[in-house]
Structure 1
Amino acid sequence: MLPPSPELSVVVPVYGCRDCLGHLHERLTRVLDSLHADHEIVFVDDGTGDGTWDDLQALARRDPAVRAVRLSRNFGQQAAILAGLQHARGRYVAVMDCDLQDPPELLTAMYERAIEGFGVVYGVRTRTGTPRLRRAAALAYSKLMNLTTRANIDPGHGCFSLLSRDVVNAYLRVPDRDRNHMLILYWLGFPHSSVPFDQPDRHSGSSAYTVRSLFRLAGDGVFFQTTVLLRWVIYLGFAVSAAGFGLAAYYLALRLSGSAVEPGFTALAVLILVMSGFVIGSVGVVGLYLGRIFEQVKGRPLYVVAETTDDAGVPEVVSTVEAPALPQR
């Protein structure tokens, strides 16, 4: 049986950072003990398969404040965050990465802001330990995201955040399948504050995100959190139609004025190719949105829990699927 709800929970999705788990736990424990508040650390093993789960079980056996959740496979960071938030019991819940680029020591200042009444407190990177090319790509992604969603997200914001229980409960009621932690928090609209920090280099290893996965994530975030792409297709369609009418009026004027009009077979071929490409592209965009709708209405869970640990570190096999339910008609 679980003890009463703690004051503060820390949710840590775990993937590709087995080597730094011990350091992360040590630093987190030191910071949380200094706050003199009941706390828990919820690690979510996102289908690592590299022995991380054994290490998390060992941590849970040594430290009663540690709880661990193992997902049946790799569902992605957003699903792991959701799983952690659903298992977290604290009055306040922090979300942070496992690679120590989110310094645990910042939680002290974030918690102080939270108890002042802010529903969301963001950790804002003023200097990042990531390579320059990736920083430039992240900045471009943020600008494009703000252009398409009008969310006005600070480029320094990441998943590092501290949420009140009211925010967590509202967050868990969002049934979106294509989730973005930052966009959901911005959309919820609770009062927020920020605490700046210099992001250190990774403790060990490299990011689990490949260039391909980053492009896919960027595309999903920019285009499938909004219908702006469909609007752009409509605007482009109107522009092409207007150009066609303009060209027709131009040739009609030439004909009425008695000027010779060259056959222009090359121009006709180019026009056919341009129009065909536009039509195919437009249908493809609509198909992508329909595919997203199909994935959403299937109602499959966003993640599946394979195993958890209780406060004594004993594995407990979870037979039920845990995920936010889609609203019923």
Structure 2
Amino acid sequence: MHKKISLIIPVYNSSKFLHKTLEAVDDQRKKSSWDLELVLVEDGSPDRSFEVIESLSQTYPYIKAIKLSRNFGHQIAVKTGLSYATGDYIAIIDDDLQDPPSLLPRFFDELDKGYEVVYGIREKRKENEIKKLAYSSFYRILNSISDTKIPLDSGDFCVMTKNVKDKMLTLNEQNPYLRGIRAWVGFKQIGLRYERSGRVEGESGYSLKKLIKIAKDGIFSFSSLPLQVISILGNIGLFISILFTIFTLVRYLANEIAVPGYTTIIIIIAFFNSILLISLGLIGEYIYRIYNEVRNRPHTIIEKTINV
């Protein structure tokens, strides 16, 4: 049965090399005889990315492009692309060819066998050792504390059926963590290992701030552990205070209490104030996310489209 393919690519600061990405996509389209719909989501890029897309759309008529009014973030850009994808099979790749289109036929073969989601498991990443350690540690920590088991070392690179895409879009979260949502919706899924390539050109658009935000979205959206930490800290504080009370009473009965006690008071106050601030910060994070959901603002503002 002939399937329509939707390929979603979020675009950010890619004006210098986007043509290389589309050449690779078109080569694979011809080789695999795809009925292709290429959904490009320009995420408020400060360079000329959308102008380049407009030019490339003359060469590749199957392009469907959406320009966002500002930078809303990678996850929102991908979710916007999902909402515009109409194919039977949907694929998500980056714009820098780290997940080359030549891998997709192997992934689509698994969908033909009956799987609903096929995600990539990254091997031999090209980042520096510190980044690789940070990524590896995060995935393992998240997997151990999450109520939903999220596959280790898997990113957004994946293919899925239209059915799964539609189910993912029913989760109208303001701070989506898509690889977590992909795992949460269930269905028959499988991971395929691949060696991730280096960037074709330029530098990653993921700053430390953006990486931290994605990490927080994953932890706070798929784990209640931060709230449980508050109880743990409270119990630790209670245990220490009981011990200190007993210690103080013993000294009092033995007439060993000195009048000053300045150091002890400062230590106790500092300790419990720290616990209070940590607890308030964790609660505040959840309250802020609840507030975001209640406001029900649109995920994106679309400035311009091509072939939509």
Shared fold (TM-score greater than 0.5)? yes
Structure 2 residue corresponding to 1:205, chosen from 198, 202, 205: 202
Q: Within the alignment, does 1:187 sit opposite 2:184 as a pair?
A: yes
Q: Which moved more, 1:189-198 or 1:149-158?
A: 149-158
| Contact 1:223-1:229 at 8 Å conserved across structures | yes
Please name the residue that 1:322 is paired with: none
Structure 2 residue corresponding to 1:10, chosen from 7, 12, 22: 7
Q: Within the alignment, does 1:156 sit opposite 2:153 as a pair?
A: yes
Please name the residue that 2:305 is paired with: 308
Structure 1 residue corresponding to 2:242, chosen from 237, 242, 245: 245
Please name the residue that 1:323 is paired with: none
Please name the residue that 1:24 is paired with: 21
Structure 1 residue corresponding to 2:271, chosen from 274, 279, 296: 274
- Letter of the structure 2 residue corresponding to residue 57 of structure 1: E
- Alignment partners' CA distance in 2, 1:29 and 1:251: 77
- Letter of the structure 1 residue corresponding to residue 202 of structure 2: G
Structure 1 residue 259: Cα displacement = 6.0
Structure 1 residue corresponding to 2:284, chosen from 284, 287, 290: 287
Pairing 1:65-84 to 2, within 5 Å after superposition? 65-84=62-81
Please name the residue that 1:320 is paired with: none
Structure 1 residue 227: Cα displacement = 2.6
Q: Within the alignment, does 1:57 sit opposite 2:20 as a pair?
A: no
Pairing 1:112-261 to 2, within 5 Å after superposition? 112-256=109-253, 258=254, 260-261=256-257
Q: Which moved more, 1:44-53 or 1:218-227?
A: 218-227
| Contact 2:64-2:306 at 8 Å conserved across structures | yes
Structure 1 residue corresponding to 2:83, chosen from 86, 103, 108: 86
Q: Which moved more, 1:237-246 or 1:98-107?
A: 237-246
Structure 2 unmatched runs, 5+: none
Structure 1 residue 204: Cα displacement = 0.5
Q: Which moved more, 1:151-160 or 1:96-105?
A: 151-160
- Letter of the structure 1 residue corresponding to residue 204 of structure 2: S
Please name the residue that 1:95 is paired with: 92
Structure 1 unmatched runs, 5+: 311-315, 317-329
- Alignment partners' CA distance in 1, 2:107 and 2:158: 8
- Letter of the structure 2 residue corresponding to residue 260 of structure 1: E
- 1:84-111 alpha-carbon deviations (Å, 9 max, x no partner): 0111110010011111000110001000
- Alignment partners' CA distance in 2, 1:198 and 1:309: 33
- 1:219-274 alpha-carbon deviations (Å, 9 max, x no partner): 33223443321110111111101221122123334545x36344533112210121
- Alignment partners' CA distance in 2, 1:163 and 1:37: 16
Structure 1 residue 186: Cα displacement = 0.9
Equivalent position SS for 2:61: coil
Structure 1 residue 156: Cα displacement = 2.3
- Alignment partners' CA distance in 2, 1:210 and 1:126: 22
| Contact 2:117-2:188 at 8 Å conserved across structures | yes
Equivalent position SS for 1:10: strand
Query: Sequence identity, in percent?
Result: 27
